[in-house]
Amino acid sequence: MLVIKWNRRKKIIFLIILSSLILSSLILIDQIFIDKAINNDPSTDHTDNQLYIKRARTILEGSLLYRDVDTQTPPLINYLLVPPVYFGGSPLAFEIYFSLFIIITVISIYYFLSPIDEKKAFLSAIAFLFVPTTLFVPTFARQDEAIVVFFFLLPLLLLVRNKKYAYTFFSSLGVWIKMHSIFLIPPLLLKSKKRDLLNHIFIIIVVSLVITIPFLILAFKEFIWHLKFYFLGEGGKLEGISFWRILDSQGYGIPNIILISLFIISLLSVYFISYKKNYSTWKIICLTLFLYFILYPKIHYEYFIMLFAIFVPYFIENKKSIAILYTISILSGATLLIEQRYLDWKIATYASNVFIPLALIFMISIDILLILLFLEDRESWLEKNISQ
């Protein structure tokens, strides 16, 4: 393959052009065929754009998140959503903005990993780009996880360059963009020596206080509610495509607190085993995401983009594993289509006794496929070349 032999500069230009062409084509398809047919009707609008606009306009008007507008997300993501709203808040503005972050993420995978193995880094970037979820989240789904995935992956990419304190800073920042980044913090702390550990904890505390103090002072009750909503599942109905949510919709629900408690216990077990066996930071995060997507009750389709951003580079040497990840992407997308029509929008009733069980089968299949990924205890190329 001729592209593999190109130098780094040419490969980066190629990734920019390829990503731009593919995402632009999907944006065009969405704008011409899909958006007007679905999203003009509030009952079938599958995007969160109206929420994004309300919160961003609150910021632009000089008002306060949480206190002056219903806010169920960490604060920083809302500030990152200001640019597309400032430029009109149109579907096209959001899709272009979200796609830019996907392009940056693709380039970052190659740029940061190429000093270890240029070929594997390039293949990782290409493989991540072509995951259906990567392509659909910024375009057809139009979700802010297209932004979040960059900030979720960036600390690990910086750790590859041995930037440990940058890892801690951006992980701490990431928590206040979307809570997924909280999974990045314990692994590095586990692997830090006493002096480093204190420095990392100091960075985490300072970053978190700088971001949260204004909201704790001016909107304490509303801000605390969003933390309970994220960590304990309180205050909101169970949504998303998780096996547990679909089961709950059929009257067989398991209380969130039980599932979250089981998830936390499993997480602590992974941390203990990882500490004893000296697993790499990247592998620990893979294992925690594995548990998260199986056990956590509130899993949305777009969350899977975080899993693919971490798993694709980790498993890139194994074609079977990459095929499994693409299958997971397709199955989660199929589940989303059923979940939206039968559970969220409630616009379909035909053969619901077939399609809803089918969605359960898809999610069980995803769990089995995730287990298969970790049955072979082989060392990843990243673990061979990364000290942390």
pLDDT tens digit string along 197-224? 999 999 999 999 999 999 999 999 999 9
The domains of the chain are located at 2-385
Which pLDDT score, from 0 to 100, does residue 42 have? Answer: 66
**Mean pLDDT calculated for residue range 62-75:** 95
Which pLDDT score, from 0 to 100, does residue 43 have? Answer: 62
Give the Cα-Cα-Cα angle 126, 131, 137 (nearest 5 degrees). Answer: 115
SS3 state of residue 374:
coil
**Mean pLDDT calculated for residue range 179-205:** 94
Enumerate helices (H) and strands (E) in the chain, giving the number of each. Answer: 20, 0
Which residues lie closer than 8 Å to 103 by C-beta, 6 or more apart?
15, 16, 19, 20, 23
d(CA 279, CA 120): 21
d(CA 126, CA 120): 10
Neighbours of 321 (CB within 10 A): 21
**Mean pLDDT calculated for residue range 222-238:** 74
Q: Which residue has the higher pLDDT, 34 or 14?
A: 14
pLDDT of 386 above 70:
no
Q: At what angle do helices 91-113 and 304-315 cross, to 10 degrees?
A: 20
Which pLDDT score, from 0 to 100, does residue 4 have? Answer: 74
**Mean pLDDT calculated for residue range 229-244:** 76
Which pLDDT score, from 0 to 100, does residue 351 have? Answer: 82
Percent of the chain with pLDDT over 90: 79
Neighbours of 210 (CB within 10 A): 12
- Alpha-helical regions (H) of 233-303: 243-249, 256-277, 281-295
Strand runs labelled E in the chain: none
Mean pLDDT lowest among 86-100, 275-289, 343-357: 343-357
* pTM attached to this predicted model: 0.96
**Mean pLDDT calculated for residue range 102-119:** 97
Which pLDDT score, from 0 to 100, does residue 65 have? Answer: 97
Neighbours of 195 (CB within 10 A): 8
Which pLDDT score, from 0 to 100, does residue 336 have? Answer: 95
Q: What tokens does 167 get? A: 């890892």
Q: What tokens does 161 get? A: 């360059």
**Mean pLDDT calculated for residue range 283-306:** 96
Q: What is the mean pLDDT of the chain?
A: 92
**Mean pLDDT calculated for residue range 84-111:** 97
Reference 229, options 50, 340, 71; nearest CA is 71
Percent of the chain with pLDDT over 70: 94
**Mean pLDDT calculated for residue range 321-348:** 92
Neighbours of 385 (CB within 10 A): 14
pLDDT in tens, 124-172: 999 999 999 999 999 999 999 999 999 999 999 999 999 999 999 999 9
Q: Which residue has the higher pLDDT, 32 or 239?
A: 32
Residue 157: C-alpha distances to residues 105, 133, 151, 290, 294 (Å): 10, 21, 10, 20, 25
Which pLDDT score, from 0 to 100, does residue 234 have? Answer: 65
d(CA 217, CA 185): 26
